[in-house]
Structure 1
Amino acid sequence: MESIILLVLMFAMLYFFMIRPENKRKKEAENLRNSLVVGDEITSIGGITGTVCAVKENTIVIETGADRVRIELTKWAVSSKNAKAGEQASK
């Protein structure tokens, strides 16, 4: 009986320390990708930074650099969202 309780306790600890936080991070990343709007500054998983120009169902178009190069990326390639360009200038 004690070994069963110990086994259940170990699985509970595994869930609360490994599985639950990972699911929470995935959900936050999905919310971030779904909340992208035109004008957001983003960084891709490859390190490309730029401003969102268009948002489609599964992809986004970003504009990078002073020469205004446009790149189409899938939404899952977005790593983080930075402050908008207008918000940075006002701070």
Structure 2
Amino acid sequence: MNFLPLLEAGTGTGGSGIMYSLLLYGALFAFMWFVLIRPQKKRQKETEALQNSIKIGDSVLLSAGIYGKVVDTVNDVVIVELGTNKSVRVPVQRAGIISKAEPDLSIVKSEEE
């Protein structure tokens, strides 16, 4: 393959080849931005807003899949009370909280019964 025609600036075909390549790379970057980078940054901002809005008494879901209730906050550490036993308190970083949610403890009966 000969890439020299792309580098030639003197002729009309070489200049248009460079311009075409730049436009192609620009379009590819724009596509990647709108498909991958922009939604990820939006999701990250929403998660940070959620984690900063956590207050005492909120029920939360941790990244490990554990539900708990916030009983205290100290800087970036949240003390979470787990289960029905009120003496189990675990310090968790705010980044470990993925949503405000309460567990669904309703019993679903199967159709066979």
Of 36, 56, 72, the match for 2:54: 36
Alignment of 1:12-31 (within 5 A): 12-31=30-49
Give 4+ residue runs of structure 1 displaced > 6 Å after superposition: none
| Aligned-partner SS, 2:39 | helix
The offset of 1:3, in angstroms, is: 2.1
Q: Distance in 2 between matches of 1:82 and 1:49?
A: 8
Deviations 1:31-83 (A, max 9, x none): 11100001111011111111100111110011111111111101111111116
Matched residue pairs, number? 83
Q: Which has the higher contact order (CA 8 A, sep 6+)?
A: 1
Counterpart residue identity of residue 78, structure 1: I
Q: Name the residue aligned to 2:64.
A: 46
Corresponding letter in the other structure for 2:24? L
Q: Secondary structure of the equivalent of 1:38?
A: coil
User: What does residue 91 of structure 2 align with?
Assistant: 72
Distance 2:25 2:80 in 1: 50
**Which of the two has greater strand per residue?**
1
Q: CA deviation at 1:15?
A: 0.5
TM-score, length-scaled by structure 1: 0.85
Alignment counterpart, residue 2 of structure 1, candidates 9, 20, 24: 20
Q: Which has the larger radius of gyration?
A: 2
Aligned partners of 1:71 and 1:79: how far apart in 2?
16
